[in-house]
Structures are given as structure tokens and as C-alpha cells.
Amino acid sequence: MLICPLDFRYGRKEMKEVFSEDHRIDTQLKVEAALARAHAKAGNVPKSAAKVITDKASISIITRERVYEIESETKHDVMAVVKALSEKCGDAGKYVHLGATSNDIIDTTTALQFKASLDIVEKDLISLLSALADLSEKHRNTVCMGRTHGQNAIPTTYGFKVAGYVSEVMRHIERLQECRKRVCVGKLSGAIGTAAALGPKARQVQELMMKDLGLGYEEAATQVVCRDRYTELVCLMANICTSCERYATEVRNLQRSEISEVAEAFDAKKQVGSSTMAQKRNPIVSENVCGLSRIVRGFVTPTFENMVLWHERDLSNSSAERFTLPHVMVLTDEILSKMEGVFRGLTVNKDNMLRNINAAKGMIMAEPVMMALTAKGIGRQEAHEVLRSRSLMAEQKGWDLQRALLQDPLVKKHFTKAELAKVMDPMNYLGFAPQMTDDVIAKARKMIP
């Protein structure tokens, strides 16, 4: 019976495998093997026993079915893994899980899943960065409407708009790289973190084990790795997904029929936009990104609540994390992949961008005229009032702004019709948008292998 959409609709194979049940059990086995090897290096157990445990610690030998069978009796998932491994190791089985508590294995396994999943997300971010940089560079000089409050503002370029996304994704890559040392952290310190059961070489064993696994370790653990680390990870994923929702929302808005400046790719041969309105071409991928991003953010609250455990630990976090952590990472990967696909296949309609600028009847050029007046020695506030009143007049009479301005004595005193037209040419009021776009793209290219 399939219930969760991750089972049949969302999620990519590589990331789902990281959080699959077989991989989780296999990783727990690998952690148990690393524990045995660390004990052997410290001289606590025979090297031959560690080798046997390592050789047997595989899902191909310790099957999920056998683990579940034992768990049905023990009612304890980690102990089921320990027993299943021990029974395959003969005499060496007595050294399995030596000195450890369940969360030494669980949290270290989770850290390895984080490590693998962050590698995938980082690749996703770099792929998205590449797509955005290409799009931004291509449209460095493509003039389009800038909008604030849902209203026309002043001209910009589409390349500069996308450069903002490029810069944001670069920050996410930096955040991800910086968080690894805090997130990819396991533990081997026993029941309440004192490492009492691990003997006099406990700290050496923990260091050897985590070095073997390529992880950091909790320096002053309770029975669990402190969940502020998990909160940082989930908040970062929510941040990344919310950025994608922002980009997707802009695509959706710019694809509105009355704006029609960009559009998602559409397979004209087979794709259907609506079951009844045959003409429809909907931004369905961007809409999907928006919906899935909200799910990821929804897991932020339980992740914060999972930080608050009784004393050295309780079990209230465990059931929640079985949902939150796999869903957050699988959906983040899905969202980033879809967002890259949107921008790789995006249609940018330059003609409609110019159409929308021209339809504004010069209103979006009020600011450059105001600044040109101040350059003539007119006070900024006086110039602002001229543009405000003449804009209202133009709107009331259905005129373009240039016509209304040419009836103002102050404007006529300082500008000829040709001079005013030059000031009001959108191509002449892009500021440093193209140059700033170039700077952002150059920085991005250094991050892309």
C-alpha cells in the first residue's frame, strides 16, 4: 500500500536511496563496524574480531527482513541490528556494540546520511547556479519592467533580475559549506555522554571511529547529538527552498496572461495544460515548487521542538525525525532539480517586455526626469512635486507622461522635446545593472566547476 507521495510521485533516486530503509540499516552496520575497528586500534578488542565484524556488516548479509524479525521480538530497532550482526559474527559477535548506546549508532548513522545528502544538495545548488548564471548573462541587456508593490516602477534588465538569484544561490552554497562541520557530527560517548562504559580509552576510541567515518563528534554530548545541529540543517534547507519559491513565484507572475514576459517550457506535441481548457499553458513546475517549499518549511517547527528533550534525553524526537529529516532532504533535492529545469527551459519574451514598458506611457520614467531637473539646479522636493502632479494629470487625461510634462513651464524652460525624450528613454536609465550583472556572473563562474 502506497501512502506517502515520496513513494510514488516526488523525490529522485539518489537522494531517496540515502534515506531508504535498506541504506539506513546498512549504514548502521557500517557504524558498528567502525566502532569495532576503533576498539581494535585502541587495543580493546582483537583485530581479527574487528575484521570479522567489518566483513559481516553489510545489508547483503544482515537482511532487513531478519532485522525486522528480531525487532518484532525485542521492540528495539538498534538492538535488532546488533543481534542480527552478532549472530553472523560467531565468537566475534561478543564485541559488537561494545560500550555503545543506541544513539551512538543512530546519530552517527544520521550524520553519515547528512554528509551524503549535503553532497547531493551542493551539486544541485551548483547546477542551479550554472543555469541562472547562463540566463543572467544571456539577458544582461534585455530591458524589462521593474515592479514594486505589484506596480510598475522603473526599467531594469532581466539579466540583472536573475543576477539577484545568482547572488542568493551563492550565499546558500557558502552556508551549506560552512554548516558541514556543525551538522556532520556523530557521537560515541555512551548512555548519557560520559563514556563510562567505553573504558579508559573511550576518548581515543571515539576519535578513531569518527575519523574512520569522516565525521566530527559531539564534544559534550548528552545521550544524543545536540539537536541544534539538526535545526541548523533543516532551517538551511527551508531557506534554500523558500528562495526557490521566490524565484518560482516570479516566473508564475511573469507568465500571467496580461504580463506574458516569460514562460515555462511546454511540450507542444503531448503536454496538456487543462483537462477542459485546451488552450492553457500553465506554470505547473513553478507551482509545484511553491507547494513543496511550504511542506519543507512546515518541518521547521517540529525540528525546533525536537531540540527540547527531558534531561539527558527522551524519545519524543525519534518518531518525528523519521518524518522530518528524510522529507526535508528529499524534497529539497526535488525542488532544486525542478527549479534548474525551469530556468534551463525558460522562454523569455523580449517583445512583450518592451510592450509592457511602452504600455506604461512613460510613467516609469518620472524618476529620471526628476533627477535631470535636480541636475539643472531645481530643488529635489520641487522637482518631485512637478513629477507627482504631472503624473496625476497624465493619468486623469489618458496622456503619456511626456505630453503632460511638456505643458509644465519649469520643464519647458530646461528641456526641449528632444532632450526630454532622451531623458525618458528607458535604455538610458538602466544605471549600472549590466555592469553589476557582469560582476555577479564572474563571481558565480568561480564557484562552478
At 437, list the grid cell.
550583472
Nearest to residue 373, comparing CAs of 433, 426, 419? 419
Nearest to residue 213, comparing CAs of 292, 112, 306? 112
Task: For residues 211-238, give the mean pLDDT.
Answer: 97
Task: For residues 2 and 8, give the distance between their C-alpha atoms in angstroms, rounded to a whole number.
Answer: 7
From 48, 60, 139, 274, active-site residue = 274
Residue 274 falls in the annotated catalytic set: yes
Q: Are 359 and 391 in contact (CB under 8 A)?
A: no
Q: Which amino acid is at 296?
A: V
Task: For residues 341-366, give the mean pLDDT.
Answer: 96
Q: Is the pLDDT of residue 74 over 70?
A: yes
From 60, 72, 149, 257, active-site residue = 149
Q: Is the pLDDT of residue 274 over 80?
A: no
Give pLDDT, residue 159. Answer: 98
At 58, list the grid cell.
553489510
What is the third-level CATH fold of 363-423?
Ribonucleotide Reductase Protein R1; domain 1 (1.10.40)
Percent pLDDT > 70 in the chain is: 98
CATH architecture assignment, domain 102-266+279-355: Up-down Bundle (1.20)
Give pLDDT, residue 270. Answer: 73
Q: Is the pLDDT of residue 276 over 70?
A: no
Task: For residues 285 and 266, give the distance between their C-alpha atoms in angstroms, rounded to a whole number.
Answer: 11
Nearest to residue 57, comparing CAs of 37, 41, 77? 37
Task: For residues 51 and 207, give the distance between their C-alpha atoms in angstroms, rounded to a whole number.
Answer: 19
Percent pLDDT > 90 in the chain is: 95
pLDDT in tens, 79-121: 999 999 999 999 999 999 999 999 999 999 999 999 999 999 9
Q: How would residue 271 be classed by pLDDT, with cut points 50, 70 and 90? A: confident
Q: Are 264 and 206 in contact (CB under 8 A)?
A: no
Domain ranges of the chain: 13-95, 102-266+279-355, 363-423
Residue 149 falls in the annotated catalytic set: yes
Is the CATH number of domain 13-95 1.10.275.10?
A: yes
